[in-house]
Structure 1
Amino acid sequence: MAYRHKERHVTERMGWLRAAVLGANDGIVSTASLVMGVAAAHATPSAILVAGTAGLVAGAMSMAAGEYVSVHSQADSEQADLARERKELETDVESERKELAAIYAGRGLDPLLARQVAEQLMAHNALDAHTRDELGITETLKARPLQAAAASAASFAAGAALPLLVVVLAPATGLLWWIFITALVFLAVLGGIAARVGGANVRVGASRITLWGALAMALTTAVGMLFGGAG
């Protein structure tokens, strides 16, 4: 019985991790920035909450649509490459065998062994061998538009709900600071978790996402104060 050693790698999580982190990050930053800008313009608590809720819905739909279109374009390209590869295997299998053998030889195999490997893999599943080793398309990393869209929308909504919860629970006095500080905490935790899951440095991941979030919220608050004062 053949021994199979199953390992879990970071790349297996990259598809959904990228969409989830991007969505949650945008949800926190955009919604916190939005409600801070509206609050800085001296809006009422109900107006702040309505604006934030509208931002949550609009942002979630925008993230889902954008991610779906982007990833679907990748999926279309993959399907076009697969169709072309399938046709080439039907019309010129020997050239495809040489091409695959050249790939293995380029990776360090002896040319004779490379050809033997190519022949055996193509005898087993020619299209799968070329899909993986020539096109670089694998089951783990292939495009999944619906999964990416759902992950982006759900994570954006979850991230956006956090600043809105602060708006509901925090006292009106010092609301701007409550939103700002809690949003930075949320972002730091998110960045740390994303870095940990992705195998990167936790401190760097948390600092990077927090810095950009702070900048976005500061700029939006300044805009709210400017136009609020002008009104």
Structure 2
Amino acid sequence: MASIETTAKHENEPHRDDLAHRLNWLRAGVLGANDGIVSVASILVGVAGATTNTGNILAAGVAGLVGGAISMALGEYVSVSSQSDTQRALIEKERRELDEQPEEELDELTAIYESKGLSPKTARSVAEELTEHDALAAHLSAELNIHEDDIVSPWSAAFASAVAFTLGAVLPLLAMLLPPAGMRVPLTFAAVLIALAITGAVGAWIGGAPRLRAAVRVVLGGALALAATFSIGTLLGASGVF
């Protein structure tokens, strides 16, 4: 009865692997939004440094948003596709080995548990029980630390990356286009640096790192990018390019 109650009590809690998987996705989303903020804001303040024409600023910002989102999606698609192909190949290799040489695979699994501190007898018993339950899952977990359900869809990853970048890019666009012309650049600087402090702290919190240090690092990097592009835009504007 006690074991049933304990299971029911914790049935809604995420397993460690599942929680880590979700946190990785969340962290990737935060980083994608951070890229969108910095990339588009840098383009906007650069153009705003050269001209006050709203149409030019809007065109540059929208181009940066669309191009950046597509670039992020393509990069994520290629990266996750390569990872997924490798994982599938490893899973098929393990499945083939279990079909062709089950005894050798059982010995290998036993040796793995022995190396983790179990006695030979206990390690053999654990290996046999796990093999009877799900041989492939047992070997994937013990040998490769992967699961069949861990394979991520490249399309899902690409879509999530593009959405995160776009959401981040909307902030500097609004900060640049909504205020009066004379307030655009300072308000964009302020909004972007505050947003970067938040994303830096959240990303560090998800990864278990010090939040203040991460926030300061991201803010300084963003400030440097904004200052550099604004200075270049101002110089180009003064030279008569615009």
Checking the alignment, whether the CA contact within 8 Å between 1:22 and 1:152 is kept in structure 2 is: no
Which residue does the alignment assign to 1:54? 63
Q: CA separation in 2, counterparts of 1:94 and 1:219?
A: 64
Q: C-alpha distance in 2, partners of 1:79/1:62?
A: 26
2:233 maps to which residue? 224
1:130 aligns to 2:130 (yes or no): no
Report the Cα offset of residue 164 of structure 1: 0.5
SS of match in other structure, 1:100 = helix
TM-score normalised by L of structure 2: 0.88
Measured against aligned partners, the alpha-carbon deviations of 1:78-136 in whole angstroms (never above 9, x if no partner) come to 00001111110011111111111121112121122111111110111111111111111
For residue 220 of structure 2, the aligned residue among 206, 211, 216 is: 211
Shift of 1:205: 2.8
CA RMSD across the alignment: 1.9
> Where does residue 53 of structure 2 map in the other structure?
44
- Structure 1 regions of 5+ residues with no counterpart? none
The alpha-carbon deviation at position 140 of structure 1 amounts to 7.0
Residue number among 104, 111, 115 corresponding to 1:106 in the alignment: 115
1:159 equivalent in alignment to 2:136:
no
Supply the AA of the counterpart residue of 1:86. Answer: R
Is the aligned partner of 1:117 residue 2:126? yes
Distance (Å, rounded) in 1 between the aligned partners of 2:234 and 2:177: 21
Does the Cα contact within 8 Å between 1:12 and 1:140 map onto a contact in 2? Answer: no
- The answer (yes or no) to whether the contact 1:15–1:148 under 8 Å persists in 2 is no
How many percent of aligned residue pairs carry the same amino acid?
48
Amino acid at match of 2:96: K
2: CA distance, partners of 1:87 / 1:63: 36
Normalising by the residue count of structure 1, what TM-score does the alignment of the two structures yield?
0.92
**Structure 2 counterpart of 1:104, which letter?**
Y
| Distance change in 2, residues 1:23/1:31 (3 Å) | same
1:171 Cα shift?
Answer: 1.8
Shift of 1:12: 3.1
Shift of the alpha carbon at 1:228? Answer: 2.5
- 2:154 pairs with 1:170: no
CA contact (8 A) 2:38 2:222 kept: yes
CA drift at 1:139: 6.0
Residue 38 of structure 1 aligns to which amino acid in structure 2?
V
CA contact (8 A) 1:16 1:147 kept: no
Q: Which amino acid aligns with 1:56?
A: L
Is contact 1:28–1:183 with CA below 8 Å preserved after alignment? yes
Q: Look up the equivalent residue of 1:60 and give its one-letter code.
A: A
Report Cα offsets for 1:135-180 as digits up to 9, x if no partner: 1113675433222212111111000000000112122114222211
